[in-house]
Amino acid sequence: MDSSVEKAKKLRALVEMLDGFRVGRVTDPGKVERLLRELSIRLPYSWDDLRSDMEAIIKLPTTSEDYGRISKMDSISKKLSFINVVLLISAIAVYILALRYNSATMYAAALSVIATSLVLVYVAYYFRVYANYKMLAIYVEKADELEKLGVRIKACVEYLLRLLKRELKASGYRLERYSLKLWLADYAGIRVIKKPARFSPRYEVSLV
């Protein structure tokens, strides 16, 4: 039973990764390959074919004239996030010194660093959200190409869903109580429990 539960967890992770690739939300084929090796399963299509589709999906945004600006904003967001971590560590260090020496100047310095950190959090978040929104817009614009490139991936997801259903039954799980989070809900063998919402952009589905 334990092995079935563990395999079911890996199958769910693999399903959610491949589903994410179909909409450009997952961009690391290596993670998919590692899970396939761990599970030792053969998909309806070869790994070379699937990897080719995934890499083509990843490259789709690079054909847009907006990609350079989006990539730059995403890079800035990552750098600001790193700087923010450094500032927070610095603020904690200064605050500890302020407590030790009871220094009003150090207290003020710590508060100043924290305030700066909060501003950077907001700016980094804004850049990240904007970059994600623009990237999504590119994929929407190229929906026809995206759909064609995702045909084989979709077939593999449906195959994995059937394997997952079998493993869940073997481990005694009730299918209606086992949920997955998917970006798309056009797969055979699933039922939508919750539709995407503002703070939960994916479908919550169960197996049928």
Q: Are 21 and 173 in contact (CB under 8 A)?
A: no
Which residue shows structure tokens 């797969």?
Answer: 187
| pLDDT above 90 (res 163) | yes
- Top pLDDT among 192 and 199 is at 192
> 80, 123 in Cβ contact below 8 A?
yes
Judge whether residue 1 has pLDDT over 70: no
| Residue 175 and residue 168 in contact, taking contact as beta carbons nearer than 8 Å | yes
- What is the Cβ-side half-sphere exposure of residue 86, based on CA atoms within 13 angstroms? 6
pTM of the model: 0.77
Residue 136 has pLDDT above 50, yes or no: yes
pLDDT tens track for 35-65: 999 999 999 999 999 999 999 999 998 888 8
